[in-house]
Structure formats: structure tokens, C-alpha cells
Amino acid sequence: MNRLSEARKLLWKGKVDETIALFQDWDDEQAQRFCKYINGHRNRIPNYDYYQSEEICSIGSGNIEATIKQIASRVKISGARWKREHLPKVLAQRTAYLNKAI
């Protein structure tokens, strides 16, 4: 199995350190940039394998994109006034609603 295939499998499981280890002995500039990138974004690389196996959430972006469009259309309501400092409260209410907490 080549390193890129192995890296893909490791990253699917959120294993950043193991992925970087695959390329440590390479002097290739592109490989080093890749390692630097995933190391810098390690906190944003989830364990998709776990989420998928536990059926915790959808790993696709479709639901997120649809929600963003819905929020964007509501923000543009004629006559509505929105302030940035109120956004956390609105999102908290939306989250509670979607989680059936209210």
C-alpha cells in the first residue's frame, strides 16, 4: 500500500501523529508542507470513522450548507435589525430547538 493511501486511512480515523510519521523520512518539500498543514489543523481533523460507526451525526456538508442558507435568508428579512453581539444567543436558541431541548 502506498503512503498516500495509508495517510488517507489514518486521517479518516483522526490519527494525525501517525500520518505525519509516514512522511518524516521524506525530504520532499510537498510532503513537508502537507505535514505542517495537518499538524496546524490537527484540532479540526475529526475521527470520521468513529462518528460514522456510532451514527453520531452526518459527516456530509449538505445539512450544514442548507442550515447556513436558511439562516442567511432569515438575516436578510426586510426591516430586521441584527447585531453581531446577539448572534450567540440566537444560535444557542436554534441549537436548543434542534436538540428538542425547548
Task: Identify whether the C-beta of residue 76 lies closer than 8 Å to the C-beta of residue 42.
Answer: no
15 pLDDT more than 90: yes
Look up residue 63 and give its three cell numbers. 445539512
Give yes or no: residues 70 and 38 share one domain: no
**Distance between the two ends of the chain, CA-based, in angstroms?**
50
Give yes or no: residues 46 and 74 share one domain: no
Task: Dump pLDDT digits (tens) for 46-101.
Answer: 888 888 788 776 666 677 777 778 777 766 677 767 778 888 888 888 788 888 76
Count of structural domains within the chain: 2
Q: What angle do CA 4, 6, 10 make, to 5 degrees?
A: 115
Give yes or no: residues 28 and 67 share one domain: no
Rounded to an integer, what distance in angstroms lies between the CA atom of residue 35 and that of residue 28? 11
pTM of the model: 0.55
Structural domain that includes position 43:
3-54
Give yes or no: residues 13 and 40 share one domain: yes
Give yes or no: residues 37 and 14 share one domain: yes
Rounded to an integer, what distance in angstroms lies between the CA atom of residue 45 and that of residue 12? 8
Give yes or no: residues 42 and 23 share one domain: yes
Give yes or no: residues 10 and 46 share one domain: yes
What is residue 81's three-state secondary structure? coil
